Structure 1
C-alpha cells in the first residue's frame, strides 16, 4: 500500500517559504541602508596514502596526489544571508559538485531559517569525528549529510532545537524515473529508490557552568519512493548523543537506531539499499544500530609555524539487524597539525567489513564477509585553507 504525506505537510512547507521571503521586507525600516557583503574562501588539498590491501601501492611505497579544491562564498545583506561551498575532485571521485548551498534569514540572535541544500539536523553536528576520514556514520549518510529542504534553528544559552523538512536529496536529473546521480558529497539512498518528504527534529540541552556538556536527541522520518513499483515505503531513525566541549578535550558519544522499509519488486531484496556519493554506489544494510565514540586532546605548541597538535581516536560500530550479515567496524587514530592556514591530518584508519578500507567495496556495509580481516590505510592529507 502506498504511503503518502498529508496535505497539511505541504501547506506547512509553503507557509514557511512565504515567511522566509516576506519577513525581510516587514522587518526593515524604509530609511535603513546597508550594503551587501560577500566573503570568498576555499581550500586546496593534497593526499598521500598507503593501503594494506593494495600490493602494487605497497611496492611503490604509497601514492601522493591531488585531493580536492573548493570555493566557499558567504554573503550577507541586512538579515538575509547566503552560504555556498562547491568542490572539485578528480573524475574518479565524482568530479565537481555542490557540497552545500543555502539562503537564510536571521530573525534575531537566536532564531534563523535556511532554505536549499542544507545540513540535516540528525546526530552530532557538524561532525561526529575529528579525523579526515570522518566516522562510520558518514558512510551510511548520517554524518554531515546535506539535503534539499527548509530548516528552522533556535539556539539560546541553554537549549538548541532544529526543525526541518527535506523534499529530497540533491536532485540533478529531474527525470520521471531517473536514478540519483552519485556525484555528490554526502551519502544518500541511490539506485532504484529515492529519499522523499523527510521530517527532522533535534533537541540539545547545554549543561554545566560553561555549557560545555551538550546532551541531545534526534529523530527523523521520511519516505522511500521506489522507481519500479512506484510505491512509497518509509524510513526512520532515532539518535541519542552527547558532546563535551572542553578547552583542550573534546568527547563525542552517540547511539543510533535506523530502519529502512522500501517497497521493492518481489524479485528484489528489501534488506539492502544502494547508497551513493563520490561517483559510485554500494550496498548498505536496511536496518542497523550504530554506535560511535570519538575523543580528542589539543596541545598548544610553538614549533616553527606549528601552533597546535590535536590527537584523536574515533571509533564506530555498525550492528546490522540481519542475523546472517557481518557487522562493520572502523577506528581512526591520528593527529591534526595546525600551522597557520595549513592543516595536516596524519591518520591510521582501520576497518573491518568497511567498503572504503579494504575488502569488497560493493557489499561490505550490507552482507559483509565472514572471512574478512582488518585492513588499514596510512593517510596524510595536507590542505591550505583560505
Structure 2
C-alpha cells in the first residue's frame, strides 16, 4: 500500500504525463505547418539577394537604388505590423494568415513583372505590408495554445525556420536563375519570383482549412483535452490580469526602453549583409555559375544554425545574456568588416560569411531573452511591441547606407564597415546600458 505522499507524487506524475501528451499533440498539429510557412516568408523576403545578380542590370538600377528598394520592405512592415495583430485578435488566425500569405505570395510573384525602379519600390513596400503581421501574429497565436513556460521552446524552434530558409533558398534560387533563363522569354529572376511566390499562396489557402483559431474549436482534440488547455490559458490570463500593464506611453519614459531599441536596431544591419548582399559578394569572388553561388550561400546558414544553438545553450546554462549577445555582435562585426580583404579568396570569404551569419543569428535569438527579463511588468507588453516595430528602422537604413556607399565609393567596403560599427555599438548598448543585476531570471 502506498503512503499518502507516494500517492500524491504518483498523481502528480500522471498529471504531468497527461499534460505533456496534450501539448505534444498540439505542437505536432500546429508547429510543422507554421514552420514551413515561415520558411516561405523568409524565402520571399530574401530572394531579392539572388535576383540582384541579374535584376539590377535588367531594370537599370544602381546599387544605391537597389539598397533603397530593399529597405522599403521594412517601411511597409512597420506601418502594418500592429494593425495586423489587432485584426488577428478580432477575426482569428485562419482568416488572417489567408490574407497575409496569399497577398505576399501574389506580390512576390508579381515582382517578376516590374520594369522600373519605381515599380520595384512599390512592390517592396507592398510585400512588407503583406508580410507585416505574420511573425507577431504567430507569436500571438501561440499564446492561445501554450502557457508562457512552454512558449520559449516552441518559439525558438519556430525561429530556426530562418536558418532552414537560408539553407534552402540559396541552392533553389541559384538553380532557377541558372537553368530557366530564356524559357518563354522570361529571365531567370522572373521565374524565381514566380515559382517562389506561388507556394505561399497555396499555403495561405491551406491555412484557412487546416488551422484552428482557438482550442475550444479544435475538433482534433477530445473534450478533456480542450478543457485542460482552456483552463491552462485562462489561469495564465488571470495571473496576467493581476499585473495589468500600463499604456505604451509609460515605456517611452524609461531610458532602458531606448537602450533596448537601439540594440535591436543593430540586428537588421547584420542581417542585410547575410540575407541580401552575400550572393553578390560570393559571385564577385570568382564564382561565375549562379547555381554554385546558391550552393555556397547555403553553407553559412548551416554553420550559423549550429552556432545559434550552442550560444543559446551556453546562455541558458549560465543564465547570462549580456555578454553572450556582445560576443554575437563581435562575431557579426568581424565577419562583415573583413569581407573586403577576402574579395579574391573564396575559402576565406566563406569562413567570414560563416562567422558573420553565426553572429547575426546569435544576436537575433539572444536579444529577445533580454527585454522580458529586464523591463518592468508595467511596461513589458507595450515596450516589447514597440521595440520590435522601431527596430525595423535598421532594416530601412542598413541597405540604403550599403547601397549608397557602393554607388558613391565604387565598392561596398565603407558600407560594410558601417555595419560592423553599428553591430559593435548594439552590443555595447546592452553590456554598458543594462546592469547584470537588473535582468531578473530564475
Q: TM-score w.r.t. structure 2 length?
A: 0.24
Which structure carries more strand by proportion? 1
> Which of structures 1 and 2 has the larger relative contact order (alpha carbons within 8 angstroms, sep 6+)?
2
TM (norm. structure 1) is: 0.26
| Pair member with larger Rg | 2
